[in-house]
């Protein structure tokens, strides 16, 4: 038997309904924020990720799915979404669009060759937002508000933002020099990867999972102590706007994010659930004011975030939040073989009028149909027999109240709408 590749998973049944609910809710929020949908290729030229994510990052060095096509071109399955969206922004000359800033959102699969574990797969889905062309720190706060509001709408509680600033180019360079000076006496104590990071990109050392618990590591310089006045002002403004948006946050100088392109604001959004441990980070992002220019585009500021669907689903299940009910509005029961043609027509008619409708496809007897109705949690049952067809009427049973009605066919939709309305009134 052929099985799915390691680190992937199938979506079906209840999980399929949950995934589609998450996608639809995110899409509806993006409509309210007036962000535009963007879709980029699942694979890009490899150099795109080397120049954006960073040559020294674990993603590029160890985790990308690289391959050559039949034209001997180096291609990579995208490990994250920002690089492709930036490439599209430049290639399609979006900086010349009259409506600025350019605000985009996406949903799609990403690929990283890493050890599968809880909430982490080799093929994983991300929701993401990228905004280009803004100059105001208010946009940082707005971008942060999107996942916060999304999580709250899903019913998650104890949502908190952890935020930090890497500063502008000058501030980052000053901080880089301080890290080089600080870690130089401890080079022999660093892991092999960090020794390489020390030479190529010392900020990467702060992401180390091996050395992070060592005493000297915990006392490393903090980014926030090396911000120039402009960078301090940017952070202060972002915090001011978060407060205006009533978003719970804390400044955490340990937040640096794992990608080279970030400047100024970096943030993570957590669900403070003790049982999740360090798996409680649901979302991360930040500002990247130099990324577009570094890819040969016009000098354009940017800010964005990405959140993973898999970990989000784990948190929702952990909190016993019910996202969807697999409800069927109407089940049409054919009372004889001779009524199947009329049943098919009725089912189609009801669906076109907005109802979720099921019927018998397996020639069940009446008892079998009732078992199926119970499994599907049906609200209304419509019985179609030869007498009903002759009299142009149908019998309807409310499967919850057990009340029964006989309705003329041409009044059926109005009756069902009224019935749904009266049931709604009873429950409010």
CA 373, CA 359: separation in Å to the nearest integer?
A: 9
Tokens, residue 237: 């403004």
Buried b / exposed e along 75-94 (16+ C-beta atoms within 10 A): bbbbbbbbbbbbbbbbeeeb
H or E stretch including 334?
A: strand 328-334
- Residue 160, burial from CB neighbour count under 10 angstroms (0-12, 13-18, 19+): middle
- Tell me how far apart the alpha carbons of residues 206 and 75 are, in angstroms, rounded to a whole number: 29
- The answer on pLDDT for 427 being more than 60 is no
Rounded CA-CA distance 278/361 in Å is: 48
In this structure, the dihedral spanned by the alpha carbons of residues 22, 25, 27 and 29, taken in order and rounded to 10 degrees, is -140
- Looking at residue 428, its pLDDT comes to 31
Model pLDDT, residue 119: 73
d(CA 122, CA 206) in angstroms, rounded, equals: 24
d(CA 57, CA 51): 11
d(CA 258, CA 179): 16
Residue with tokens 């996406």: 106
- Among the residue ranges 32-36, 127-131, 215-219, the one predicted with the least confidence is 215-219
User: Crossing angle for the helix pair 138-153 and 229-244, nearest 10 degrees?
Assistant: 40
Q: How far apart are CA 397 and CA 347, in angstroms?
A: 16
- Average pLDDT value for residue range 383-400: 91
CA distances from 41 to 4, 26, 264, 364 (A): 23, 21, 29, 47
d(CA 306, CA 127): 6
- In this predicted structure, the answer to whether residue 424 has a pLDDT above a threshold of 50 is no
**Which pLDDT does position 258 carry in this prediction?**
62
- pLDDT on residue 53: 76
Higher-pLDDT residue of 307, 194: 307
Give the model confidence (pLDDT) of 221-258 as tens digits: 888 899 999 999 999 999 999 999 999 999 998 887 76
CA–CA distance, 126 with 310 (Å, rounded to integer):
9
Given pLDDT bands bounded at 50, 70 and 90, which one contains residue 260? confident
Instruction: Identify any residues that bridge with 285 across adjacent strands, giving them in sequence order.
Output: 267, 305
**Residues with Cβ < 8 Å from 143, sequence gap 6 or more?**
129, 131, 285, 303, 304, 305
Q: Is the pLDDT of residue 204 over 80?
A: no
CA–CA dist 228, 45 (Å, integer): 36
Number of Cβ within a 10 Å radius of residue 196? 15
At 72-114, the pLDDT tens digits run 999 999 999 999 999 999 999 999 999 999 999 999 999 999 8
DSSP string, 190-245: S-HHHHHHHHH-GGGGGG-SSSTTSHHHHTS--GGGG--HHHHHHHHHHHHHHHHT
Domains delineated in the chain? 13-168+248-318 (3.30.930.10), 171-227 (no CATH), 328-426 (3.40.50.800)
> In whole angstroms, what is the distance from residue 255 CA to residue 400 CA?
53
Hey, what are 354's tokens? 């907005």
User: pTM for the whole thing?
Assistant: 0.88
pLDDT tens for 26-35 read: 999 999 999 9
């Amino acid at each position: 038997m052929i099985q799915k590749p390691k680190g992937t998973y199938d979506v079906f049944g209840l999980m399929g309904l949950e995934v589609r609910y998450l996608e639809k809710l995110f899409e509806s929020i993006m409509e309210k924020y007036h962000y535009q949908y963007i879709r980029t290729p699942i694979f890009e030229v490899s150099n795109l990720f080397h120049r954006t994510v960073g040559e020294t990052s674990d993603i590029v060095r160890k985790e990308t799915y690289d391959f050559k096509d039949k034209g001997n071109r180096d291609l990579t399955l995208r490990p994250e979404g920002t690089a492709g969206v930036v490439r599209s922004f430049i290639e399609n000359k979006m900086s010349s669009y009259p409506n600025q800033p350019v605000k985009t959102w996406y949903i799609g699969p990403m690929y990283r060759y890493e050890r599968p574990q809880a909430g982490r797969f080799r093929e994983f889905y991300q929701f993401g937002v990228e905004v280009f062309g803004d100059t105001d720190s208010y946009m940082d706060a707005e971008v942060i508000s999107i996942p916060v509001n999304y999580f709250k709408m899903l019913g998650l509680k104890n949502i908190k933002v952890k935020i930090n600033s890497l500063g502008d180019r000058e501030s980052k360079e000053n901080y880089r020099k301080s890290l080089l000076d600080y870690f130089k006496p401890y080079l022999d104590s660093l892991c092999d990867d960090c020794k390489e990071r020390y030479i190529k990109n010392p900020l990467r050392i702060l992401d180390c999972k091996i050395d992070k618990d060592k005493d000297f590591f915990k006392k490393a310089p903090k980014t926030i102590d090396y911000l120039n006045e402009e960078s301090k002002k940017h952070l202060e403004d972002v915090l001011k706007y978060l407060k205006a948006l009533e978003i719970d946050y804390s400044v955490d100088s340990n937040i640096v994010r794992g990608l080279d392109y970030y400047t100024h604001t970096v943030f993570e959004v957590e669900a403070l659930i003790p049982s999740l441990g360090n798996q409680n980070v649901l979302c991360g992002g930040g500002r990247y004011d130099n990324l577009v220019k570094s890819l040969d585009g016009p000098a354009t500021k940017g800010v964005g975030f990405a959140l993973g669907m898999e970990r989000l689903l784990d948190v929702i299940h952990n909190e016993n939040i019910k996202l969807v009910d697999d409800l069927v509005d109407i089940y049409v029961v054919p009372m004889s073989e001779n009524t199947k043609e009329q049943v098919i027509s009725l089912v189609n008619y009801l669906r076109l009028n907005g109802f979720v409708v099921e019927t018998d496809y397996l020639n069940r007897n009446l008892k079998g149909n009732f078992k199926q109705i119970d499994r599907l949690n049906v609200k209304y049952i419509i019985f179609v027999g030869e007498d009903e067809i002759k009299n142009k009427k149908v019998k309807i049973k409310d499967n919850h109240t057990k009340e029964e009605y006989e309705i003329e066919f041409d009044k059926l939709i109005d009756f069902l709408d009224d019935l749904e309305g009266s049931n709604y009134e009873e429950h409010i």
